[in-house]
Amino acid sequence: MENSQNKSPSEGTDFKELRLLEELEETPQITQRNMADRLGIALGVANLLTKNLIKKGYVRATKVGWRRWVYTLTPEGFTRKLQLTRQYVDRTIDHYRRIKLLLRAELDFAEIGTASRVGIVGKSELSEIVYLALGDLGVTKIGFFDDKFVGNKIFNLVIKKESDLNPSDFDIVISARLNDMNSLFVVRAAEYHSNLASSKTSHQINPEEGIDIKS
């Protein structure tokens, strides 16, 4: 059975349904292909999700031309969107709180304080939450690294190449490439590059059990 507690708030069918309702409300004449592109999903998935919303009575589709449709949220659809929005906010807050607690435990374990320098590897929703959590913990010297998004910005910080992550410039490195909390791990900066090859000396953060020290 899938453990939804460990997943990012932006994963799962409910979130896709929420995004679809938002897009249909904002752009009633949107095409299925544009919908798929905006949501980052396959065209067939977008079509299936839309049909499900219509079947459930959340959306009404009106044909206005050859292969052209106008989508309108029904009163039930607006109620559903509000419900999903509340759920998303609650999950996001819970996600953030758990990451903050786990990071605090890790920083305490490594005897790292507010003056510590932290490198975050990965551009994802999870890495953004990690950044905010570190800020709440008083850590301000932070850098982002991700080879796929070099030059992009997260909170006005320019993302650099991972090869630019110099161990002498940071105390610890937090890998947050994916939105799954189980993918989050912390390693001392001096050991980061060797850890990529050997998968050793890392501190895997487990949301259920806390920190599992790998040696």
Beta-carbon contacts of 84 under 8 Å, excluding residues fewer than 6 positions away, are 14, 15, 17, 18, 21
CA-to-CA dists, residue 57 to 18, 44, 51, 60, 74, angstroms:
15, 20, 10, 7, 7
pTM above the 0.75 mark? no
Domains of the chain (ranges; CATH) run 4-73 (1.10.10.10), 95-213 (3.40.50)
Distance CA 59, CA 54 (A): 5
For residue 112, the model assigns a pLDDT of 65
Among 189, 186, 193, 199, residue whose Cα is nearest residue 99: 186
**pLDDT tens digits for range 103-134:** 777 666 556 677 889 999 988 878 888 888 88
Residue 21's pLDDT band, with cuts at 50, 70 and 90, is very high
**pLDDT for 4:** 46
- Asked if the model's pLDDT at residue 155 lies above 60, the reply is yes
C-alpha distances out from residue 181 to 40, 43, 66, 90, 138, Å: 21, 28, 45, 16, 22
98: confidence class by pLDDT, cuts 50, 70, 90: confident
Strands 59-65 and 68-73: antiparallel
Classify strands 210-213 and 203-206 as parallel, antiparallel or unpaired. antiparallel
> Is residue 46 predicted with pLDDT exceeding 50?
yes
Over pLDDT 90: what percentage of the chain?
A: 28
